[in-house]
């Protein structure tokens, strides 16, 4: 019978037993719910071993491609190494290659990791300045452009991490990069779909990765990128996105600015109105929403009510760091 | 005898039903307050499990699960009128999907059978 490795323990399965049953039988803590492959509470990631097809039925393609599986539907046919998805803790040392202003409060951080990082555009990583101080940022680079990692960091005055980056940090300084996570990624299955990419502030970073990845893969459906900022200088990729849109017939770029004095080529409607009025019927759209939690959650609901399928909305709300406990 | 779950088209049909049903629930002011502070994706997965159950598909929900899952909502005032609204939306969802009246009645029956567990009585 196949043996499972999970949480530092080895578990031998019994005939016909699922991964979930085997782990629970050994008293291991695995989140679970319906035990029928529907609620997806028992999502695990396979580090090694073949995943039987029924264990991925109903999963988003992005999760299936990253070797996620449903423990309650997985009857293993060979040995497997499994983990709870959020448990990614492998860290890669990296060196700061560049820190430069991008516009407004946003800086571009470029890192050179010691070993190539396994990631997909749209995912995020946690950067560690030391053992205790880590912050999550979305990747704006593409793995196919080389080993360098690019991030867009909003500098928060007095921020322990972003303040350090903007002030003291210098090229050559070292950080650690934790494994990439997140399921808001582009997959080849979406090539003919219409893509709506909506971001506020540095919520644009993962979208900058996704839009370039989609174009690189020869995306055939429409793509609309909508970026919201408080003032014009917050539209930190305004020119780059306008240029990219000019080069691709199926790409359109819209910018929304809360205080539009002195801006050029921006929409004066608030971002959510711009999104809803531009698209209208969302039933043919696949949406990625990144940035401020209130806007992301509100838009997710509006887009769903305006006809989008639930599984065609990918939301990535950027949560502020909780204040340190004293 | 086939179940309604199979007659409707199995899992693919449930995905469609969840989208229709959840839209109805979210736009109904009688009950959408109970859904305001939940993660939409997790909520949709739970609704999928619920619809699978009432359509007679594979599920292993127990009365205990239903009690635990709704305890915090009962504390916030969940009562029979809200369960009635949910069953009403179930019926109109099924109608949109082309289900027969007998099937709709059967689904309402299954949903009613867990009413006391949901309301923690």
A310 touches chain B (CB under 8 A): yes
Give the chain A residue whose CA is nearest to the CA of B24.
A305
Confidence category of residue A86, pLDDT binned at 50, 70, 90: low
Please list every residue in chain A whose beta carbon sits closer than 8 Å to the beta carbon of residue B65.
33
CB contact under 8 A, A34 and B41: no
Phi-psi region of A11 (alpha: psi -120 to 50; beta: other; left: phi over 0): beta
- Cβ separation B11–A58 shorter than 8 A: yes
Q: Give the integer Cα–Cα distance in Å for A221 and A159.
A: 40
Contact yes or no for A34 and B59 at CB 8 A: yes
Tell me, what CATH number does B83's domain have?
1.10.490.10
Which residues from chain B sit within 8 angstroms of residue A309, using beta carbons? 15, 19
Look at chain B and report how many structural domains it folds into.
1
Q: Reply yes or no on whether the pLDDT at A326 is more than 60.
A: no
Q: How far apart are CA A139 and CA A164, in angstroms?
A: 19
Percentage with pLDDT > 70 across chain B: 97
- The burial class, CB within 10 Å (0-12 / 13-18 / 19+), for B46 is buried
- Are A9 and A28 in contact by the 8 Å Cβ rule? The answer is yes
Two structure tokens written together for A94: 């990296």
A304 in reach of chain B (CB within 8 A): yes
Q: Could you tell me if A202 and A152 are in contact, meaning their C-beta atoms sit under 8 angstroms apart? A: yes
Query: Using an 8 Å Cβ cutoff, are B119 and B74 in contact?
Result: yes
Kind and range of the H or E element at A208? Answer: helix A204-216
Q: How confident is the model at residue A323 (pLDDT cuts 50, 70, 90)?
A: very low
Whether the predicted pLDDT of A248 surpasses 50: yes
* pLDDT band (50, 70, 90) for residue A66: confident
Put simply, the answer to whether B49 touches A301 (Cβ < 8 Å) is no
- Interface size between A and B, measured as CB pairs under 8 A: 51
Is the confidence metric ipTM above 0.85 for this complex? no
Domains of chain A listed by start with CATH number = 3-85 (3.10.20.30), 91-178 (2.40.30.10), 188-317 (3.40.50.80)
Query: CA A49 → CA A25, A74, A86, A142, distances in Å?
Result: 21, 12, 19, 28
Residue B51 lies in domain: 4-118
Please name the member of A36, A301, A310 whose beta carbon is closest to the beta carbon of B18. A310
Coil, strand or helix at A279:
helix
**How close A309 comes to chain B (CA, Å)?**
6
**C-alpha–C-alpha distance, residues A31 and A43, integer Å:** 8
C-beta separation of A152 from A179 below 8 A:
no
Which of A38, A53, A183, A184 is the mutation pick for testing B, counting most B CBs within 10 A?
A: A38
Mean pLDDT of A43-51: 93
* Spatial distance between the Cα atoms of A160 and A169, rounded to a whole number of angstroms: 12
pLDDT (mean) for A299-307: 93
CB-based burial of residue A241 (10 Å sphere; 0-12 exposed, 13-18 middle, 19+ buried)? Answer: buried
Q: What's the pLDDT at B37? A: 65
**Element at A45 (helix H, strand E):** strand A43-48
For B82, the 3-state DSSP assignment is helix
Strands A223-231 and A106-113: unpaired
CA A72 to CA A191: how far, in whole Å? 31
């Amino acid at each position: 019978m196949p043996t499972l490795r999970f949480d530092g323990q080895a578990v031998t399965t019994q005939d016909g037993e699922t991964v979930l049953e085997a782990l629970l039988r050994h008293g291991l803590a695995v989140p679970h719910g319906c035990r029928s492959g529907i609620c997806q509470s028992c999502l695990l990631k396979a580090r090694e071993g073949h995943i039987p097809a029924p264990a991925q039925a109903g999963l988003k393609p992005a999760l299936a491609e990253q070797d996620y599986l449903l423990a309650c539907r997985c009857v293993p046919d060979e040995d497997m190494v499994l983990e709870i998805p959020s448990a990614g803790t492998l860290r890669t040392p990296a060196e700061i290659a560049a820190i430069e202003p991008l516009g407004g409060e946003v800086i571009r951080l470029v890192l050179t990791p010691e070993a190539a990082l396994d990631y997909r555009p749209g995912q995020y990583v946690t950067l560690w300045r030391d053992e205790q101080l880590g912050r999550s940022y979305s990747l704006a680079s593409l793995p196919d452009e080389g080993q360098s990692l690019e991030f867009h960091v909003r500098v928060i005055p007095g921020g322990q991490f972003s303040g350090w980056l903007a002030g003291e940090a210098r090229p050559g300084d070292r950080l650690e990069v934790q494994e990439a996570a997140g399921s808001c990624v582009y997959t080849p299955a979406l090539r003919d779909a219409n893509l709506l990419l909506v971001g506020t502030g540095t919520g644009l970073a993962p979208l900058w990765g996704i839009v370039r990845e989609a174009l690189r893969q020869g995306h055939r459906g429409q793509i609309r990128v909508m970026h919201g900022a408080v003032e014009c200088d917050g539209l930190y990729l305004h020119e780059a996105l306008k240029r990219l849109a000019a080069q691709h017939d199926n790409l359109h770029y819209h910018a929304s600015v809360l205080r539009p004095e002195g801006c050029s080529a921006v929409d004066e409607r608030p971002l959510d109105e711009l999104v809803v009025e531009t698209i209208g019927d969302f039933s043919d759209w696949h949406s990625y929403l990144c940035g401020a939690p209130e806007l992301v959650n509100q838009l997710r609901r509006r887009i769903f009510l305006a006809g989008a399928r639930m599984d065609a909305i990918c939301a990535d709300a950027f949560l502020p760091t909780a204040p340190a406990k004293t | 005898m086939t179940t309604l779950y199979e007659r409707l088209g199995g899992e693919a049909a449930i995905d469609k039903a969840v989208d229709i049903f959840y839209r109805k629930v979210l736009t109904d002011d009688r009950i959408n307050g109970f859904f305001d502070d939940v993660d939409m994706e997790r909520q949709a997965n739970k609704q999928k499990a619920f619809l699978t159950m009432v359509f007679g598909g594979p599920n292993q929900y127990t009365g205990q699960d239903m009690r635990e899952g709704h305890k915090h909502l009962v504390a916030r005032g969940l009562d029979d009128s809200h369960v009635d609204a949910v069953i009403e939306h179930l019926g109109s969802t099924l109608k949109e999907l082309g289900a027969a009246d007998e099937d709709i009645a059967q689904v309402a029956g299954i949903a009613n059978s867990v009413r006391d567990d949901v309301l923690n009585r």
